[in-house]
Chain A
Amino acid sequence: MENQDLYYEKDFLPSIVRWGRGTNLLGVLFAFIPPLVCTAVYGIWPGWGPIFAGFVMQASVSGVFWFVEPISYFNVLGIPGTYMSFLSGNIGNLRLPATVAAQQAAKVEAGTGEGTVIATIGVAVSIIVNVLFLTIGVVLGAPILSLLPANVITVLNNLLPALFGAMLAQQFVPHPKIGTVAIILAGGMLLLMKYGFLAFLPGSPSYAVIIVAVFGTILIGRKITESELKKAGSAEK
């Protein structure tokens, strides 16, 4: 058992970190290839001014999430899953559900070595499925996809809410106390945001909701578990 843990800690994780850092930093460079082709080969240059203006508008919306999302979702995705998820995108709406579904099916817990290995497989499968669907979509093209009746698309809008509810339930049932804490924190913050009480924060304050919901639940959950362990310990004596 010691040896196996040793391989995971000393061989697997360091090699994942080495390759993950390399591929993700390469991913930063690769992201510039399509716009560079557009500018250098086809000679279309919008000018620094508009690009900067567009970037500032986008960064004011996304900037906080560059940090908040990796930090908040890391505990579910694990090290390899985090590299893969943020290179491939669509985290909350695809990579997280795929990870949780894989871990549930394999009966492993997030945060353990087994959970991390299975998360990698879950994210990889979701990448294949997603690229496959997109490839079919791009081959069919907009004219054919637009033939989808409008009400099908309206109905599809309700798929993710149902999935998110299911993800919460799958965690809530085995951890009802931690789940209740999370619902109170997230629900309270969301209502505060909805009725304008978080308006003092810069930008759209949903990042504050995520931070409080995730880290508040972690800290309170730990306190609850610690006191439960203590109680169980003194009962044994």
Chain B
Amino acid sequence: MDYMSIANSPLMWLACGLCVALVIFQAALFVRKSLIAGKKLGITNEQIKSAVKSSATGSIGPSLVILAGMISLLVAMGGPVSWFRLSYIGAVAYELMAAGFGAEAVGVTLGSPEMNATAFACGLWVMTLGSIGWVLFTGLATHKLDKFRNVLAGGRKEMLPVVSAGAMCGAFSYLSLDRVVLFNSQTYAAIAGFVIMAIFTAYNQKANKKWIREWSFCISMFLGMAVSIPFI
């Protein structure tokens, strides 16, 4: 039997659907709790609306990239698994690698004509086993990370935003310079994204325009990408 009929069976859809449902359930629950807490902290509806708009427009680009990565996963692992794995623990690069290692372990190249049910199953097991570390660790340790953050702030509450600013500058420097040191068209994309957003941010420190706060990420990433096209 062709393994794709198993990979795309209604039962696989159900099994994978349960996992996606858990992600959505948790998100809905946390949003409800956050809205209540937000009211008490004095967050206005206007702020919530702005946040929703900005994160929605900011998520479109990255989701397109994930969708492009989905193509090779669809061919090798079928619909349900691709759909579930890309909305669950891990990331688009991780999933392809894990499925590949799984198939390789039974001597098959992922997505090749030799791809069979055993390679599919092994890929699926490796995808799960290789990814649970992230959820297990966050499930058990997230509340302790908060204490660690206080240690980083030297026990001073007014230093917490400095810790966050340092963490963000550090993380985003790593993520963007990782692409800059490739010294190819991605270098131009990263620098262009930086320059465009720097202009928006500097201008908006005084102007304080709502549309800039909501749209600047979306505009910067697509414009930055466009600038790099001649260098590809």
Contact = CB atoms under 8 A, between A and B. Distances in A.
B59 A125 contact: yes
Given A178-B165, A222-B166, A122 B55 contact: yes
Contacts of B80: 34, 138
B54 A102 contact: yes
A34 B84 contact: yes
15 contacts: A24-B139, A33-B19, A50-B102, A55-B130, A58-B126, A75-B149, A93-B66, A98-B58, A118-B38, A134-B83, A138-B83, A161-B189, A164-B172, A167-B175, A172-B169
A79 interface: yes
A203 interface: no
Contact of B33 (A12, A23, A42, A168): A12
Contacts of B27: 84, 88, 123-124, 127-128
A3 B37 CA distance: 12
A99 B120 CA distance: 35
Nearest to B185: A158
Given A171-B172, A175-B165, A46 B128 contact: no
* Among all A-B residue pairs, the 9 with the closest Cβ atoms: A162-B224, A66-B133, A165-B193, A111-B164, A24-B139, A162-B193, A105-B54, A75-B167, A58-B130
B144 to A, nearest CB: 10
B171 A213 contact: yes
Given A84-B26, A105-B54, A120-B34, A160 B205 contact: no
A31 interface: yes
Contact of A172 (B40, B42, B152, B198): B198
Q: Assign chain A's interface to a size class.
A: 35 or more
A199 interface: no
Interface string B48-84: 1011111111111111111110110011000111111
B20 to A, nearest CB: 6
B232 interface: yes
Q: Assign chain B's interface to a size class.
A: 35 or more
A57 B232 contact: no
Nearest to A209: B174
Contact of B67 (A12, A134, A171, A221): A134
B192 A58 contact: no
Given A54-B102, A133-B66, A158-B228, A178 B169 contact: yes
A133 B55 CA distance: 15
A44 B118 contact: yes
Nearest to B199: A169
Interface string A159-187: 11111111111111111001101110111
Given A4-B42, A24-B139, A16 B58 contact: no
Nearest to B210: A105
B63 A161 contact: no
**Chain B contact residues, majority secondary structure:** helix
Interface in A1-60: 3-4, 7-8, 11-13, 15-17, 19-21, 23-28, 30-39, 41-42, 44-46, 49-51, 53-55, 57-59
Contacts of A213: 170-171, 173-174
A200 interface: no
Contact of B61 (A69, A163, A225): A163
A210 B141 CA distance: 19
B161 A168 contact: no
B109 to A, nearest CB: 13
Nearest to B152: A218
Interface string B11-31: 110011011101111111111
A137 B170 contact: no
Interface string A188-227: 0011001000000000001001100111111111100110
Contacts of B34: 12, 80, 117, 120-121
A155 to B, nearest CB: 6
B112 to A, nearest CB: 15
Given A111-B161, A130-B63, A35 B194 contact: no
Nearest to A75: B167
Given A17-B143, A137-B83, 10 more contacts: A28-B135, A54-B105, A86-B135, A105-B50, A114-B41, A145-B67, A162-B225, A167-B176, A173-B201, A174-B165
